[in-house]
Amino acid sequence: MITKTQDSAQSDLLGKLRRVGGNASAEQIGAELNRLGQTPVPLLPAQELCEAFLINVLKNQGTVACAPDRSEAVKCVAKYLHERFHTRKIVAGNDPRLAAMPWRDGGVLPRFGAAEQEFSSPPTPASLSYARLGVAETGSIVTFTGKSNPAANNLLVEDHLVLLDVADLVANLDDAWQRINAAMEEEGRPRGINFISGPSSTGDIDAQLVMGAHGPRAWHVILMGDVPDEALDNARSFIEQRLNQL
């Protein structure tokens, strides 16, 4: 039941809308109608897509490397494992793309399966995922969880390493969801879809940033393919300039 007061308020509102709309031309009304359902194009920190993605990964407290091919990507994994853990071992999902990597080129010893968390022993040092997509707008990678990429590998490790093909890099979240929906139509729904945008962190305790509170302490993205030579240097320079301005 609408009361007299509610009816009066509604009439006032509709009257205001009519007065505002009455001053608009047909072209203005048509332009506004065309905007419905469209989201603004997000501004990226760089015009070049790879550079914009790398900048945002670094903003998210991640680390990055670039490799022109799979062999160099394996060497990047080996270098990271040696510098961080003095090991050649890593856990990787049962993704055919990971199985096909030339592991001998870097002397890496992958164990295919899920990371295991044992309270009586240290957690698995590092895991490796092969991203379905990268999103330049947010500096995120997208994974489909399942046998090829167990969710545990994103969570139950000290360091999470990710391989991403340049061809799977998109500009924004809208583009990412278009690609995801197309993949689901072709392959069916995955168990889960993860957007990962950095290592685990929290500021809940005394407003102090703590890394690794609920997952990996470190997050390392290796961008594979035809990456412009200056993209990585430009991304690091961008972050350095921002830090100097603080």
Each residue of 20-33: pLDDT tens digit? 666 777 787 777 77
CATH 3.20.20.140 fits 49-245, yes or no: no
Scored b (16 or more CB within 10 A) or e, 5-27 reads: eeeeeeeeeeeeeeeeeeeeeee
Provide the residue type at 25 as one letter: S
- The residue type found at 98 is L
Higher pLDDT, 123 or 157: 157
Give 43-71 pLDDT, tens digit per residue. 999 999 999 999 999 999 999 999 999 99
- For the chain, the domains span 4-35, 49-245
- Write out pLDDT tens, residues 93-123: 999 999 999 999 999 999 999 998 655 466 6
Answer whether 0.75 is exceeded by the pTM: yes
The first and second tokens of residue 144, run together, are 């489909």
Q: From the CB of residue 60, how many other CB atoms can be counted at a distance below 10 Å?
A: 17
pLDDT of residue 40: 77
Residue 156, number of CB atoms within 10 A of its CB: 20
Output the pLDDT for position 9.
Answer: 80
Distance of CA 9 to the CA centre of its chain: 46
Question: Quick check: 152 and 118 in contact, CB under 8 A?
Answer: no
CA gap 241, 246 in Å, rounded: 9
d(CA 151, CA 3): 54
